[in-house]
Chain A
Amino acid sequence: MDVTKVIDAKGLACPMPIVRTKKAMDELESGQILEVQATDKGAKSDLTAWAKSSGHELLNFSEENDVFLFWIKKS
């Protein structure tokens, strides 16, 4: 997967992972992929919901050592 940008939101609490993701997304072009790393336990629901309602595509999700990883493609 061709990741354009990586956002490290590890250790950040709500609402920061979403705010950071949104900021990063604004800087991307349509079709580019953002990787988000987060540890907030709500992040899985939050980012999934956010991607869905903002029209972006959540390509993949994984969890490694309590870190949630998201790959979101900009619409």
Chain B
Amino acid sequence: MLEKGKTTIVLFSGDYDKAMAAYIIANGAAAYDHEVTIFHTFWGLNALRKNEKIDVKKGFMEKMFGKMMPKGADKMGLSKMNFAGIGPKMIKNVMKKHNVMSLPNLIEMAQEQEVKLVACTMTMDLLGLQKEELLDDIDYAGVAAYLADAKDGHVNLFI
């Protein structure tokens, strides 16, 4: 039996296209029988947001942040050619035509393949995101936990 590989990805970006790249690599790595971790920090946390409004107690700034950031993976914008939201609509159409999986589906598949999804708790505080607003069955951790995974990683990416 070959040595079990390990892949870690830091998803910093909140762009739909960059998150897609991260999740495609994660799913591919899982198919390679790697142990896979995606560490979501800053804008990347939005990929883990539930798409409905969740009632949680928040201060003014946190509420503003919550309103301005996309509620979930499907609402994220593109890093290029976003055109105030028309870009994502266009690309999603093209994706359907080419049978490319949408970001929400890629995330679901990653969870099925037991990819470890981690939310960075420090940036959750910063952006005012609470556990109730994020997907179920994810882990919460900080830099030390990421490094513990990354130090044994064969593939470590920052996206």
Contact = CB atoms under 8 A, between A and B. Distances in A.
Interface string A47-75: 00010011100000000000000000000
29 contacts: A12-B99, A13-B98, A13-B99, A13-B101, A14-B24, A14-B28, A14-B100, A15-B24, A15-B27, A15-B31, A16-B99, A16-B101, A18-B28, A18-B31, A18-B32, A19-B28, A19-B30, A19-B31, A19-B113, A21-B31, A22-B30, A22-B31, A22-B32, A22-B33, A50-B31, A53-B2, A53-B32, A54-B32, A55-B1
Contact of A11 (B27, B33, B99, B109): B99
A3 to B, nearest CB: 21
Name B's interface SS: loop
Nearest to A11: B99
A14 B109 CA distance: 13
A63 B32 CA distance: 24
Contacts of B30: 19, 22
Contacts of B98: 13
A15 B31 CA distance: 9
A2 B32 CA distance: 25
Given A50-B32, A54-B33, A55-B1, A19 B99 contact: no
A31 B30 CA distance: 22
A74 B5 CA distance: 18
Interface in B29-49: 30-33
Most chain B C-beta atoms within 10 Å of own C-beta, residue among A13, A15, A19, A55: A15
User: Which 5 pairs of residues, A with B, have the shortest CB-CB distance?
Assistant: A22-B31, A15-B28, A13-B100, A18-B31, A15-B27
A55 to B, nearest CB: 5
A19 B115 CA distance: 13
B86 to A, nearest CB: 23
Interface in B80-137: 98-101, 109, 113
A25 to B, nearest CB: 9
